[in-house]
Structure 1
């Protein structure tokens, strides 16, 4: 509840910085609404804004703060007069002061196409429609994969309540589950691109994470991914963990 948290933060004199990495493009967020009154927000462009690998990140700053904060990563593009070559640094006014170096034009072009795919939903209800589809996609995947996942020792790490769930589903690998990394590699080889997250601490489960982009993923894809997960679990349970060298990312 962004509005309630922001109100409590303001009452305590706390500045809020919201991480929108798993929200922008999948969840309705209104940073400018009077009830929300966020101070700062940051996010990435490569997830649900569909900008692809290497897409630029973004920052949003409330107008009350925009000229009061200095960007710690100073760069020539955030200078008030970048071509004057002054000895000192004078930040630009407004959001321009938060820029750093030369914009990555090719990456921004891809991000623009990704954002356009989100904006294409505007005639159909905009973010409200995308949020409804996102919840339906994750609900479909959970229901279709639940039996096989639980039969192989996985348990759901993602909230079942719609209001607590984003646009990704994580299955946690219990002690008796097949090797999670091998399961994810098997899925990727079969065309289902998920994400393996190793446990950060002993005793905590590894995670199999599946993200659903409501702008273009379909319910058929969600169902097929669930079937593929069941098949991959069975395959690794029979064959054992992969002995191949693990790359840094899955």
Structure 2
């Protein structure tokens, strides 16, 4: 067999795609990436905006440095709900008063699952698939142990994800909560949110979606679809920065029946009453516990401005175009080298990353990082090509996949 050439072929050029991209100008809104020539990991950590250093400096010198504690009354106290409303409007299809920012994804998942489990006191099962992100699985196992609940595991193909048919086999009269990753962190499979929600509700149970790999890149209509609760992070496609706080959405008519377990003063009906007992706030603010992480929220507001300007539907269109291009390059350059594609090709069934599999990828990714090409690796053999539409060019995708090809050739 003739070995493949060391240089990638000339077909599938990126220039026409970048020239025709209606969102091309947004790439310059982000800070230069130093020695990185192809950043393919925006699905793990988004790049910072150019305005972020100025925003942080102004916060230190004015909001904190000059206004000091007065800023709590002037702006900070309302920021968790105000930012939550903006996320809801820009990315979730959620009306105001149902989304709040604060805590980590892990903490908010704990709060949400505990609250949903308590809202179905006559049921004892939590349904979750066996290939969900570790945090989700670990939190569920801990809550089950803590509350005497039963975990019903759904076995899924790691190259796919949770489907309505798989859930239909396990959701039943004992089901209290069903937890689903909207986009699988491993394969990029996009779950059918409205159909799953209908199935769960028909069984009398409640549904919780983890939106970490979909918020900001996949349009959704949580209010219209009747989703009960959703949790997501803000440091991936919402570019909030490392450790930026997560958010929780809870359906308005369900909120009065949700008692989250970490009762803190900031979630009380009257924050400054210093009351002897705890009375939760009427709305989504009841999901706040302690003092909100104001510093961690700063970059998020500017990114939401960008998302609003671009529009979530246009962002999704570019996401699909980028993943289509990645599939074409992978098929032409990597499949002949023995890699397997582990992401659904149907547009309605995928998020914004493409996962490819090969036994050498753990070694290959380490070498790529040294060359300024940054995808990521997920055990046991998956390389994820993460495509953040507002900050990624088609040229970057071509450079990155060409480098993956070269690295595979180098290891034989």
Q: TM-score, normalised by structure 1?
A: 0.83
Alignment of 1:78-157 (within 5 A): 78-121=267-310, 126-157=311-342
Deviations along 1:154-175, one digit per CA (max 9) or x if unpaired, are: 20001111111100011112xx
Match of 1:6 in 2: 197
* 2:229 paired residue number: 40
Matched residue count: 221
After superposition, the CA RMSD in angstroms is 1.5
Alpha-carbon distance, 1:209 to partner:
0.9
Among candidates 367, 387, 398, match of residue 223 of structure 1: 398
Determine the structure 1 residue equivalent to 2:386.
Answer: 211
Gaps of 5+ in 1: 200-205, 239-250
- Superposed CA deviations along residues 87-136 of structure 1, whole A, max 9, x for unmatched, are 32211110000012222222101122222222220xxxx21111110011
Secondary structure of the 2:222 match is coil
Asked if 1:69 is matched to 2:258, the reply is: yes
Deviation at 1:147, TM superposition (A): 3.4
Contact kept, 8 Å, 1:23 with 1:29, in 2: the verdict is no
> Separation in 1 of the partners of 2:341 and 2:306?
30
What is the distance in 1 between the residues matched to 2:355 and 2:326?
Answer: 11
- Distance in 1, matches of 2:386 and 2:241, equals 13
- Give the Cα–Cα distance (whole angstroms) in 1 for the partners of residues 242 and 373 of structure 2: 17
Which runs of no fewer than 5 residues in structure 2 stay unpaired?
1-191
Structure-2 residue corresponding to 1:158: 343
1:243 paired residue number: none
Aligned to 1:25: 216
Partner of 1:169: 354
Larger relative contact order (Cα-Cα within 8 Å, sequence gap ≥ 6): 2
Q: Partners in 1 of 2:345 and 2:257 — Cα distance?
A: 41
TM-score calculated relative to the size of structure 2:
0.51
SS in 1 for 2:220: coil
Question: Which one of the candidate residues 226, 236, 242 is aligned to 1:53?
Answer: 242
CA contact (8 A) 1:51 1:115 kept: no
Q: CA deviation at 1:151?
A: 3.2
Supply the distance in 2 between the matched residues of 1:87 and 1:234 (Cα, whole angstroms): 68
Could you tell me how far apart the structure 2 residues matched to 1:52 and 1:135 are? 24
Cα distance in 1 for partners of 2:201, 2:379 equals: 37
What per-residue deviation string (whole Å, max 9, x for no partner) do you get for residues 8-39 of structure 1? 22221111111111111111101111xx1111
Q: Does 1:190 align with 2:375?
A: no
Deviation at 1:137, TM superposition (A): 0.5
Matches of 2:228 and 2:405, distance apart in 1: 44
Aligned-residue offset at 1:3: 2.1
> Does structure 2 conserve the Cα–Cα contact (< 8 Å) formed by 1:141 and 1:225?
no
Q: More helix by proportion, 1 or 2?
A: 2
2 CA distance for matches of 1:74 and 1:152? 55
